[in-house]
Amino acid sequence: MLATTGVANAAVTQYSNRTSFETAASSLTTETFNSYTTDAAFSSGSVDVGDFTLSHSGTYGGVKISSNGSGFMNVDGTAHVQGLGFTNDVITFVFDMAINYFGVDLFAVNDGIEREVVDLAGSTYTMPVFSSNVRSFVGFVSDTAFTTISFRAVAGESAGYDNVSYGVSPVPLPAGGMLLLTALGAFGIVRRRKTA
C-alpha cells in the first residue's frame, strides 16, 4: 500500500557507524567538500554546495566550508564544514531532491557534554557524548523521503562535518504501475503481430 502518513510518522533508523549505514543504504552520493580551494562562509546566509544548500542561523560568526584541511575542526585532513555555534544556533542541509539516506562524518561533536542534536522530520535525535574531541558518525535511513535535516546546538559547540553521504531508496512499483506495464506489454505484442 502507498504510505499516506505524514513525515512525522516516518520510520527512521539512526546509525552511529558508517559501515552499518552504508550496508543499509544504497546508491549513495558523497560530498567531500574537497573541491573547495577557498573558504565559503555562511554564518549569516547560505552556500549552494550542489545537490544541497547549507545555511546557518544564530550568532556564531565562524561557520563556513573551510578549505584548510589542517584547520580548525577538520575531520580527515581535508576541506570540511566548520560549525556549529552558540546555544540555539542551527546548521541546516536542504536537498534539491527528497532523500531517504543521510550520513555525515563528524569531529568533536558532544565533547564532554551534550552540545548538539539533530532535527529530522519533526523528531529530535541525540548523539553520544564523548570524553574528548574524537571522530564520529551519524546517519539516518528513513522510509519517508525528506529534504531537510538540521544540526542544532543545545550548548556551545565547535565541531566539524565532512563526507556527507545521501541517496534515494529504490521505490517499489505500485500496483497501478504494474497494471500499466502489463497493458503496455499487451499493446506491444499486438503491434508485433500486426507488423509480422
Give least dist CB 79 to Ca ion, A. Answer: 5
Give least dist CB 52 to Ca ion, A. Answer: 15
Alpha-carbon distance of 152 to 154, in angstroms, equals: 6
Give least dist CB 27 to Ca ion, A. Answer: 21
Give least dist CB 93 to Ca ion, A. Answer: 15
Q: Which residue, 35 or 46, is less far from Ca ion as judged by CB?
A: 35
Which of 58, 18, 40 lies closest to 151 in space, CA to CA?
Answer: 58
Three cell numbers at 58? 544564530
Give least dist CB 142 to Ca ion, A. Answer: 25
Q: Which residue, 89 or 162, is less far from Ca ion as judged by CB?
A: 162
Q: Which residue, 89 or 157, is less far from Ca ion as judged by CB?
A: 157
Contacts of 123 (CB under 8 A, 6+ apart): 8, 12
Q: Which residue, 52 or 146, is less far from Ca ion as judged by CB?
A: 52
Number of residue whose CB is nearest Ca ion: 78
| Under 8 Å between Cβ of 94 and 71 | no
Give least dist CB 156 to Ca ion, A. Answer: 8
Interacting residue ranges for Ca ion, rule: CB under 5 A: 32-34, 78-80, 108, 111, 157-159, 162
Which string of b and e fits 70-99 if b means at least 16 CB within 10 Å?
A: eeebbbeebbbbbbbbeeebbbbbebeeeb
63 phi and psi, to 5 degrees?
Answer: -80, 125
Q: What is the CA radius of gyration of the chain?
A: 21
Q: Which residue, 77 or 122, is less far from Ca ion as judged by CB?
A: 77
109 phi and psi, to 5 degrees?
Answer: -75, 140
Q: Which residue, 36 or 146, is less far from Ca ion as judged by CB?
A: 36
Three state DSSP letters for 8-38 = HHCCEEEECCHHHHHHHCCCCEEECCCCCCC
